[in-house]
Structure 1
């Protein structure tokens, strides 16, 4: 299970220090070998400390030095004071060991890994400061644990009979795991650090409980058991055990969430932003940097998004004024002409290799999102495959997002599929050697920013729609989302009220009309800080790198080579990505 604490096992591993004796005189080969051992141990420790991580990322753990018998089957460490304290100690120990390496003696690829690890561990060390222990909210309205658990279980891959037994144990662990989250949440309220959209959480959980044993989550898990073609009697027994665990653990956990959230309504719950907590602005700054993949300040990010808003505003105005004959198309966007999600992906795949480096394993299947998850407003997502999996990749799409021939649907499928996450993931698995880099390097701004970049890049493969119309659509969307990022900063760093948020959107020309819509959008941002930053700050970073490359290279700029430069970085902070782009620029002059 993706751990609750930002400096948790999933992100950084158990982080046990290696007992290595430092040499008085370091040599390059020895230092490189020692560094590889350190990073490999980080990977092993992570996998062995968190069963869901091992199951999701590895089909054959033994091939990576991971001992499955050392892994406790369940959802992961409980969220309590002991775990929080130990995690902070482990992070400090790992950082101390990491600081013994001489970066200059490492290979270029190792230096990338070094910088990725350093960015993560430095931020997590700061976030592990005890003054932030109760700042992270367990039940964010869109990305809280109550929404993550059904997604995790619905997508759980069963590869063997033992996996079925383990899944039953995981489902049985839902209630104890959720209880620890609720204990943490009650302590937050006692400390005056609760900041949760209680009604949103209650509404979601009521839908889960109402489904009962007819739950789409349980149905999905049963389908996975059927797909194994086990002995009929064995399969029936496992399904009965799974149902029992579901009824005795999963459903009671969601009933308890509802009860707890109802009880918290009479307590202290911050219904505005992080800025209203004692260390809220400091915490938000760290959270922002973690989600934008750089050490830029809040003011630097604010300026970046304001500049982007101005650029898109002028761009839209120019396109419309210069092309009044296209006004109808701007207002009523023409259909793309595609009749299925597969048709969209196949069309893109047939054209994208003129602009993106080829990868060999791009087989896929598309599955509708689980009904209960679809109700949460999720448009689509890509299921990250194990790093040793050579089978088809899976894309989940919400059938209710709109018509298949709608431009929004095209964008969503391109974002999650080609040339977005599915392609990005396939490239990394095929071209990066380090298991740590493939599975644990964590830069949401790189991953999501690239996927946004890719979805708009895919507009060039749409035939029959005027490029000027597509460009206006792109800039209008980006203008809106840049304003949302600025609103997030306003709420959590400046302490905006609902009225100030509404006034800002009105000033930006983004009136929502209905008061309830303003409140709904405000609550979404207020309860899930930095949710949009990885997507749109990440996008702006990639576009800034592209503009830089185009300016310096002129006619020598090659889109395919540029894409290769950013893809070879893997999920890295932008200091690494920029270095690889600079290498491409210098080599192309």
Structure 2
């Protein structure tokens, strides 16, 4: 597996998706069952009494590969990477593989390896892990051709909004953390340049966002730029506050780190955001499909992907539709029954509001 590329090599396998896989591995290896795919799991009748050592090793390596591909998540979820066999990782925010954007070899390699294990040699909890990973990876592979739909620049939750928050929450326990943080700051310009190149690829194929959405992203970036380099701005002040909590730093160390942070923000973060603004501005007007993603080619398939990957059930859209209808009918009947018993409920329904301090009470 290509460690540093895995999370961003395939545009669907972004940070959140990778963490979902990590969650699957961790929760199932702890002996817990996830709420989906219960039918497949319940049909398992033959299992080993002990864990399969080879399978455990493979899953542990997969865990390490996924986290080492995403430096921010690696730092957030693993305090000491070496404890998990993660000794070699690149300090980067990641990159799209623009030379091979439709390469699915990572998916097929994982699926092939998972299927090579004899289920009967796996313990019950390992079979759960196998089932969940296979279902997830096969779903990603099925929809991997829709990578053009993906963008990390959603107007309110995009990476341009999240990145300053991720940096603000980046914890400093030792000097190594600070050094790696500074390196990540220095990667922001290259990260956004690569992202802009991917957006150009999307634009060339008509998949770039509508101009109104692009304007919102651009304005958000400009808003960040207004305060990014200021002494009381989040990128500077939050960093300085976190330094004070790190044990073992001399006054000279603190002064040096403060200077390095200011330099990284001014020379890499601010130029990175400005280059993104320039790129998005130049791509305005390239969208070919107005009115939402449903009007794009394969737009309905993309929503199928979102549905299946979010809910994790092996159901068709029609089956989901019938399920929702059944729930609505069930609870409408229940509401009618309650209203017949006590008509004042209808008045309470119209005036009901949650208590802001105790919403359950």
TM-score bracket, normalised by the shorter chain, equals 0.7 to 0.9
CA contact (8 A) 2:51 2:123 kept: no
How far apart are 1:329 and its partner, in Å?
8.2
Whole-Å separation in 2 of the counterparts to 1:304 and 1:194: 34
CA contact (8 A) 1:154 1:218 kept: no
Alignment of 1:327-338 (within 5 A): 327=347, 331=351, 333=353, 335=355
Return 5+ residue gaps in structure 2 as ranges.
Answer: 23-46
Secondary structure of 1:271 counterpart: coil
Structure-2 change in CA distance of 1:305 and 1:254 (3 Å): farther
Secondary structure of 1:81 counterpart: coil
Q: 2:11 aligns with which of 5, 8, 22?
A: 5
Secondary structure of 2:229 counterpart: helix
Structure-2 change in CA distance of 1:281 and 1:333 (3 Å): closer
Q: Please tell me whether residue 41 in structure 1 is matched to residue 61 in structure 2.
A: yes
Structure-2 change in CA distance of 1:28 and 1:150 (3 Å): same
Whole-Å separation in 2 of the counterparts to 1:314 and 1:261: 51
Whole-Å separation in 1 of the counterparts to 2:335 and 2:223: 41
Secondary structure of 2:149 counterpart: coil
> Once the two structures are superposed, what CA deviation does each residue of 1:287-315 show, in whole Å capped at 9, x if it has no partner?
21001111211122223334444455555
Whole-Å separation in 2 of the counterparts to 1:319 and 1:311: 13
Structure-2 change in CA distance of 1:156 and 1:328 (3 Å): same
Q: 1:152 aligns with which of 158, 166, 179?
A: 166
How far apart are 1:151 and its partner, in Å?
2.0
Whole-Å separation in 2 of the counterparts to 1:243 and 1:49: 27
Structure-2 change in CA distance of 1:142 and 1:332 (3 Å): same
Q: 1:184 aligns with which of 180, 184, 198?
A: 198
Whole-Å separation in 2 of the counterparts to 1:254 and 1:330: 47
CA contact (8 A) 1:159 1:228 kept: yes
Q: Which residue of 2 aligns with 1:201?
A: 217
How far apart are 1:249 and its partner, in Å?
1.6
Structure-2 change in CA distance of 1:194 and 1:334 (3 Å): closer
Structure-2 change in CA distance of 1:258 and 1:8 (3 Å): closer
Whole-Å separation in 2 of the counterparts to 1:135 and 1:225: 40
Q: Which residue of 2 aligns with 1:123?
A: 139
Q: 1:298 aligns with which of 287, 303, 317?
A: 317
Structure-2 change in CA distance of 1:28 and 1:309 (3 Å): closer
Secondary structure of 2:101 counterpart: helix
> Once the two structures are superposed, what CA deviation does each residue of 1:240-286 show, in whole Å capped at 9, x if it has no partner?
11111112221222222222333332222533233322222223212
Return 5+ residue gaps in structure 1 as ranges.
Answer: 14-26, 336-405, 412-458, 463-589
Whole-Å separation in 2 of the counterparts to 1:105 and 1:81: 40
Q: Higher relative CO (CA 8 A, sep ≥ 6), structure 1 or 2?
A: 2
Give the number of equivalent residue pairs. 322
CA contact (8 A) 1:156 1:221 kept: no
Q: Which residue of 1 aligns with 2:181?
A: 167
Q: Please tell me whether residue 213 in structure 1 is matched to residue 213 in structure 2.
A: no
Whole-Å separation in 2 of the counterparts to 1:217 and 1:311: 51
Secondary structure of 1:84 counterpart: coil
In terms of mean alpha carbon deviation, does 113-122 or 304-313 score higher?
304-313
Secondary structure of 2:130 counterpart: helix
Q: Which residue of 1 aligns with 2:30?
A: none
> Once the two structures are superposed, what CA deviation does each residue of 1:445-493 show, in whole Å capped at 9, x if it has no partner?
xxxxxxxxxxxxxx3xx3xxxxxxxxxxxxxxxxxxxxxxxxxxxxxxx
CA contact (8 A) 1:91 1:125 kept: yes
How far apart are 1:198 and its partner, in Å?
1.3
Structure-2 change in CA distance of 1:38 and 1:51 (3 Å): same
Secondary structure of 1:47 counterpart: helix
Secondary structure of 1:73 counterpart: coil
How far apart are 1:50 and its partner, in Å?
2.9
CA contact (8 A) 2:136 2:312 kept: no
Structure-2 change in CA distance of 1:317 and 1:255 (3 Å): farther
Q: Which residue of 2 aligns with 1:224?
A: 242
Q: 1:107 aligns with which of 90, 107, 123?
A: 123
Q: Which residue of 2 aligns with 1:59?
A: 79
Whole-Å separation in 2 of the counterparts to 1:133 and 1:40: 28
In terms of mean alpha carbon deviation, does 101-110 or 313-322 score higher?
313-322
Q: Which residue of 2 aligns with 1:449?
A: none
Whole-Å separation in 2 of the counterparts to 1:320 and 1:248: 65
Q: CA RMSD in A?
A: 2.9
How far apart are 1:334 and its partner, in Å?
6.8
